[in-house]
Amino acid sequence: MADLTTIFAGIRSPNPFWLASAPPTDKAYNVVRAFEAGWGGVVWKTLGEDPPVVNVSSRYGAMSYNGTRIAGFNNIELITDRPLQINLDEIRQVKRDWPDRAVVVSLMVPCVESAWKNILPQVEDTGCDGIELNFGCPHGMSERNMGAAVGQVPEYVQMVTEWCKLHSRMPVIVKLTPNITNILAPARAAKDGGADAVSLINTIMSICEVDLDAMAPTPVVDGLGTHGGYCGPAVKPVALRMVGDIAREPDLQGLPISGIGGVSTWRDAAEFIALGAGNVQVCTAAMHRGFRIVEDMIDGLSNWMDSKGYRTIADFRGAAVKNYVHWGDLNLNFRTIAEIDQDLCIKCGLCHIACEDTSHQSIAKLRVDGARRYEVIEEECVGCNLCAHVCPVEGCITMVPQASTLPKLVWANHPNNPMRVPEPAE
């Protein structure tokens, strides 16, 4: 049986599934229920200074798509609105009762050293396993020069990280904001500041939808709306790319990464781990389906690892990083074409319509014995695989690599590249 035990930034947990800092980790009641369901760890909802912040009503927006509820999730909630001491007392008790689970505490206080120096000993005294610095919140707190306002300035990221390493013995995880042009800059700053790990992504600044009756962004608060933080399945592609960018960067290799963003299934988790994450954090999926989703995540990941012969998480962690390259490193001589399985085809014609109207006119619409039939025109097919994506039948359209005697050709050596250095004449 696969061993799902992870040691992340020196923090041990029975599996790689942690709950992210968010409403599901706002109090002991929730966290205990999560541990009873099987979660390997939690990042306690972000603590701040007293007096606590004041939240609004309502707080959540969502994007549904083609009948899928909460394809994307938006929130304008701030950090915990519970008194600091109540949170600290609960953290201490939970860690005492659940010593085998990871309990990390998210923190956000003003960007002055005295504020961090004051709160760190109080948090450390709870016996928690580490801290996560919330440098990502894109709403409410950023207007107070915290959250993303810090995370978007690498110098601030490094400075606060250094303060935390100076005034605490706990592992320090730096949570990075995606609301930045280049994720590598704050990641390097975190490493230079002594961070034990980074976690990403935090939420993406967004407006989820506009209420056309109220004529305001949702969620609507007394007739008005504001931008919030976007998360859920829709942000997974953005998160995977940023995790992969850090994992493949030579000077950042070895920096542990906690993957966050749209993790809903064991497969999502496996993808993040394959791109370099040491564990994953989950929020929206738990808010949508409840804490027991972790049972399927644990079983699914364990069964998949068994089928692949992976004994531990480390056996496949980062396995896809070497294959995540820049566009210019792709083989321009590689060719693949679509193939339609006529036994599976339901003759809906979506492949033909998509290709005919918006692509390369390489799927013919035919009549054979009075019945509709769609066939690939191989000499016209460029292998874009749009048809495979629009086909509603799993496995009906596949992409078939074509045999070739041509050598690998990358853009740097392509004749059309104006920057190509010609090979010396013999």
143, pLDDT greater than 80: no
Nearest Cα residue to 228 out of 211, 210, 203: 203
148, pLDDT greater than 90: no
- Residues 154, 168 contacting (CB under 8 angstroms): no
> What is the structure's pLDDT at 333?
97
DSSP symbols for 170-207: S-EEEEPPS-SS-THHHHHHHHHTT-SEEEE--PEEE-
Q: For the residues 165-176, what does the mean pLDDT come to?
A: 97
Domain-ending residue, one of 323, 346, 377: 323
> What is the structure's pLDDT at 50?
93
> What is the structure's pLDDT at 140?
64
> What is the structure's pLDDT at 149?
84
**Percentage above 70 pLDDT, the chain:** 99
Query: Do the domain assignments include residue 189?
Result: yes
- Global pTM reads 0.95
Distance (Å, whole) CA 45 – CA 55: 14
Please give the single-letter amino acid code of residue 389.
H
Question: Does one domain contain both 242 and 391?
Answer: no
> Is 137 a catalytic site residue?
yes
Domain-ending residue, one of 267, 301, 323: 323
Domain CATH for 256: 3.20.20.70
Instruction: Report CA dihedral (147, 151, 175, 256) to the nearest 10 degrees.
Output: -170
Query: Do the domain assignments include residue 264?
Result: yes
Question: Does one domain contain both 256 and 336?
Answer: no
Distance (Å, whole) CA 15 – CA 40: 5
Question: Does one domain contain both 273 and 319?
Answer: yes
**Percentage above 90 pLDDT, the chain:** 93
The active-site residue, picked from 111, 137, 164, 345, is 137
> What is the structure's pLDDT at 426?
60
Query: Do the domain assignments include residue 156?
Result: yes
- Residues 193, 166 contacting (CB under 8 angstroms): no
Count of structural domains, the chain: 2
154, pLDDT greater than 80: yes
Distance (Å, whole) CA 363 – CA 280: 41
Residues ≥6 apart with Cβ < 8 Å to 252: 184, 187, 188, 191, 246
165: exposed, middle or buried (Cβ count in 10 Å: 0-12, 13-18, 19+): middle
- Residues 387, 349 contacting (CB under 8 angstroms): no
Query: Do the domain assignments include residue 420?
Result: no
Distance (Å, whole) CA 150 – CA 148: 5
Domain-ending residue, one of 299, 323, 347: 323
Q: What is the helix (H) or strand (E) element at residue 123, kind and residue range?
A: helix 113-124
- Residues 350, 326 contacting (CB under 8 angstroms): no
Two tokens, residue 110:
């003003």
41, pLDDT greater than 90: yes
- Residues 34, 25 contacting (CB under 8 angstroms): yes
> What is the structure's pLDDT at 141?
78
DSSP state of 323: G
Residue with tokens 């990403």: 200
Q: For the residues 232-253, what does the mean pLDDT come to?
A: 97
Question: Does one domain contain both 178 and 56?
Answer: yes
Question: Does one domain contain both 316 and 343?
Answer: no
Query: Do the domain assignments include residue 90?
Result: yes
420 pLDDT band, cuts 50/70/90, is confident
Distance (Å, whole) CA 1 – CA 16: 16
Give pLDDT tens digits for 205-224. 999 999 999 999 999 999 99
Question: Does one domain contain both 92 and 237?
Answer: yes
Query: Do the domain assignments include residue 425?
Result: no
Question: Does one domain contain both 216 and 236?
Answer: yes
Domain CATH for 357: 3.30.70.20
> What is the structure's pLDDT at 398?
98
- Residues 25, 44 contacting (CB under 8 angstroms): yes
Distance (Å, whole) CA 17 – CA 375: 45
145, pLDDT greater than 80: no
Q: Which is it for the CA torsion 279, 283, 285, 291, positive or negative?
A: positive
DSSP state of 371: E
Question: Does one domain contain both 76 and 129?
Answer: yes
Query: Do the domain assignments include residue 351?
Result: yes
Question: Does one domain contain both 319 and 339?
Answer: no
The range of the structural domain enclosing residue 89 comes to 6-323
Give pLDDT tens digits for 62-107. 999 988 999 999 999 999 999 999 999 999 999 999 999 999 999 9
Residue with tokens 């002991």: 28
- Residues 8, 279 contacting (CB under 8 angstroms): yes
> What is the structure's pLDDT at 423?
66
Distance (Å, whole) CA 104 – CA 47: 11
Question: Does one domain contain both 182 and 109?
Answer: yes
Give pLDDT tens digits for 329-381. 999 999 999 999 999 999 999 999 999 999 999 999 999 999 999 999 999 99
Question: Does one domain contain both 387 and 282?
Answer: no
- Residues 177, 202 contacting (CB under 8 angstroms): yes
Question: Does one domain contain both 215 and 342?
Answer: no
139, pLDDT greater than 90: no
Query: Do the domain assignments include residue 162?
Result: yes
147, pLDDT greater than 80: no
Q: For the residues 29-52, what does the mean pLDDT come to?
A: 97
What is the radius of gyration, based on Cα positions, of the chain?
25
120, pLDDT greater than 70: yes
